[in-house]
Amino acid sequence: MAFRENTNDIIEGIIDKKVDGKKSKIPAQLDFYQSLTGIILAIFIKFHLLFVSSILISKDFMYSVDKFLSGSFLVKGGDPAFVAGAAFFIFVVLVVHALLAVRKFPNSYRQYRNFKSHTMMYPHNDTKLWGVQIITGFILFFFASMHLYQMMSEPSNIGPYLSSDRIWTDNAWVMYIILLLAVELHATIGLYRLAIKWGWFQGKTYKATREKLKLVRNGIIIFYLVLGTLSLAAYMKIGYEHQNNYGERYIPTHKVVGS
């Protein structure tokens, strides 16, 4: 009995219909969970980029942000386990989101050809954005997973110096440039597509709403790309200046003065 129910679920997932021919609700449910996981990831990345940009204010401020995210408000001095736990949660959400999204990717030459023909027949920018989502999503599944694994395995190696050493001396800046472009485009375009799909922020007319959302989308992309680039440049500069003391941890000003 259980085997038959599982088989029926698989058939519904493939043809979007129940065995008796009725329209299945599963695709809509999967779309909802894909949207939900996408929102979680997009909100996370926006705050993550803001936290990372704390280095633009000062090394001390970045150190304080790191300690706060390590749970210093709960545990004296903070605990890297908080960072590892958060990274693991985001990794799980990422995997679930990827599994839900990949079902919409062209998985054969025929589907790819149909998609390409569709974009040629209807050269709409939003159709092209879906192609951008596919490319950036594929990149993120590998690069974001690498980054999250690093956060899970070495949660204590974060700070003004340690992060900068990793970016400059370990040449991680190459990965972070690709990651910044891919994650910002994917997250913001994804939020834009969700707003259109679910009818958020509806104005007087559909066209007017779309045009306003496009302006907001482009503004957010530009803001975060500039912010991320400046942050990455700051870490590279610190890493370059600190390369002779690779691996040394940052000591905040108040501890140096106090000692």
pLDDT computed for residue 77 by the predictor: 85
pLDDT digits (tens, 9 = 90+) for 201-249: 877 787 888 889 999 999 999 999 999 999 999 999 999 999 999 999 9
User: Is the Cβ–Cβ distance between 63 and 160 less than 8 Å?
Assistant: yes
Average the pLDDT over each of 7-16, 92-101, 110-119, 159-168 and give the range with the smallest value. 7-16
Is 10 inside a domain boundary?
Answer: no
Check pLDDT > 50 for residue 29.
Answer: yes
User: Ranked by mean pLDDT, which of 107-116, 149-158, 192-201 comes out on top?
Assistant: 149-158
d(CA 12, CA 121): 30
pLDDT computed for residue 105 by the predictor: 73
Is 13 inside a domain boundary?
Answer: no
Mean pLDDT (whole number) for 96-107: 84
Which residues is 23 bridged to in the sheet?
17
Check pLDDT > 80 for residue 2.
Answer: no
- Assign residue 250 a region (left: φ > 0; alpha: ψ between -120 and 50; beta: otherwise): beta
Domains of the chain: total:
1
Is 183 inside a domain boundary?
Answer: yes
Kindly give, in sequence order, each residue whose CB lies less than 8 Å from that of residue 183, ignoring residues fewer than 6 positions away. 45, 136, 140, 144
d(CA 79, CA 61): 18
d(CA 202, CA 224): 25
Check pLDDT > 70 for residue 1.
Answer: no
Mean pLDDT (whole number) for 24-44: 90
**Domain extent for 73:** 26-104+121-251
- Looking at the chain, the whole-number percentage of residues with pLDDT higher than 70 is 85
Is 63 inside a domain boundary?
Answer: yes
Check pLDDT > 80 for residue 252.
Answer: yes
pLDDT tier at 17 (50, 70, 90 boundaries)? low
pLDDT digits (tens, 9 = 90+) for 49-94: 999 999 999 999 999 999 999 999 899 888 999 999 999 999 999 9
Between 59 and 115, residue with greater pLDDT: 59
pLDDT computed for residue 36 by the predictor: 94
Is 14 inside a domain boundary?
Answer: no
Mean pLDDT (whole number) for 25-41: 90
pLDDT computed for residue 104 by the predictor: 75
pLDDT computed for residue 82 by the predictor: 95
- Average confidence score pLDDT of the chain: 87
d(CA 158, CA 78): 12
Is 1 inside a domain boundary?
Answer: no
Is 9 inside a domain boundary?
Answer: no
Is 18 inside a domain boundary?
Answer: no
Check pLDDT > 80 for residue 112.
Answer: no
pLDDT computed for residue 3 by the predictor: 47
pLDDT computed for residue 204 by the predictor: 76
CATH of the domain at 55: 1.20.1300.10
Between 200 and 83, residue with greater pLDDT: 83
